[in-house]
Amino acid sequence: MNPSARTAALALLAACAITSAAAESNAPPAPAKQAEQSAKSAPDAEAASKTGAPENQAGGTSKRIFDHPRDYTHTSAGFGFKIPPFYRSLDPAKEQPRIAQGLAPLFVTGPGAIGRATLRNFRGPADPKQPEKPAPEFRVASGGTMGAFDAGKLEAYRSTVETHLKAMNIAYEDLDVALRDVAGGSALRVAYQVAAGPVAGDRFLAFVVPGPDRSFELDFEGPQGEDGADVQLVLSTFKFQKSPSKPAPPPEEERVSPWPRVAWWTGGCFAAGVLLHLLYRLVMRLAGRKTEAA
């Protein structure tokens, strides 16, 4: 092949390669690749904030103890709150939590009423003045749907709770049932003092919270009452979050427009055509000179 023609062909291939690379770099990612990138960039089902410890929904926990509140988010269940200082999550495979059952199944009427799941147990610091006494704990559970609580039915709710406690042989004193605002709605608050056992004298608090697509229960057991700083922190920061299973479409201004890609291809093809024309004229001129020399 003529060296000039070979040079022209290589230049044409280089121009096409540059045009294709520029277009691909501006093109939106393929659906599979985009999903992969989204999965990598999305947070874990449970995660802590920059000031906290990362958690693992499968059961792995961090033994680190923090002296400040930190964010806790359970994206698959759709809720979040702040963990009180010096509390840590328990590993159910290695540590036995004290709070294993709650009161919400007494009021859940929708799907999921049976087989209510504990999502996480947390344990706080032990009292140095009473080292033999178990450390305080709180638990977050989730289950079926339920309707809103009615302030006019508090006596009926109390009767239901009393029947349950007696059936479970739980010794209690000073039972109190009321409504409390949690996550922007009315939650049923059940409080009583433990009358027997290793945690005798501690307060048990249960907050049954109706959610948008499921119900939640926050259970506390320890020396703090409802006005305790740890209880108040969890209740005041507890909130519902949207499930990531159905992400909202991006805003109009964030959607990838096809026109930049069209412009890149059009401009690239035009540039390649001009370059091809110039190379063709160069090759024909060289070929003419060789003909005249012959």
Classify residue 195 by its DSSP letter.
-
| Domain at 52-240, CATH from 3.40.30.10, 3.20.20.100, 3.40.1000.10, 3.30.1330.10 | 3.40.1000.10
Task: Quote the pTM value.
Answer: 0.60
pLDDT at residue number 48: 43
Which range (117-126, 226-235, 254-263) has the least confidence?
Answer: 254-263
Instruction: Report how far residue 237's alpha carbon sits from residue 80's, in angstroms, rounded to the nearest whole number.
Output: 8
pLDDT band of 215, cuts 50, 70, 90:
confident
**Could you tell me which residues come within 8 angstroms of residue 193 by beta carbon, excluding any fewer than 6 positions away?**
172, 173, 174, 201, 202, 203, 204
The alpha helices in 126-191, defined as continuous H runs, are: 154-167
pLDDT at 219 over 50: yes
| Tokens at 263, concatenated | 């412009």
16, pLDDT greater than 60: no
In whole angstroms, what separates CA 17 from the centre of its chain? 42
Percent of the chain with pLDDT over 70: 68
pLDDT score recorded for residue 193: 92
Give me the mean pLDDT over the 12-36 stretch: 48
Q: How many CB atoms lie within 10 A of CB 81?
A: 20
Domain residue ranges in the chain: 3-28+260-293, 52-240
Residue 117: band (very low, low, confident or very high) from pLDDT cuts 50, 70, 90: low
- What's the mean pLDDT in 138-153? 87
Asked if the model's pLDDT at residue 40 lies above 50, the reply is no
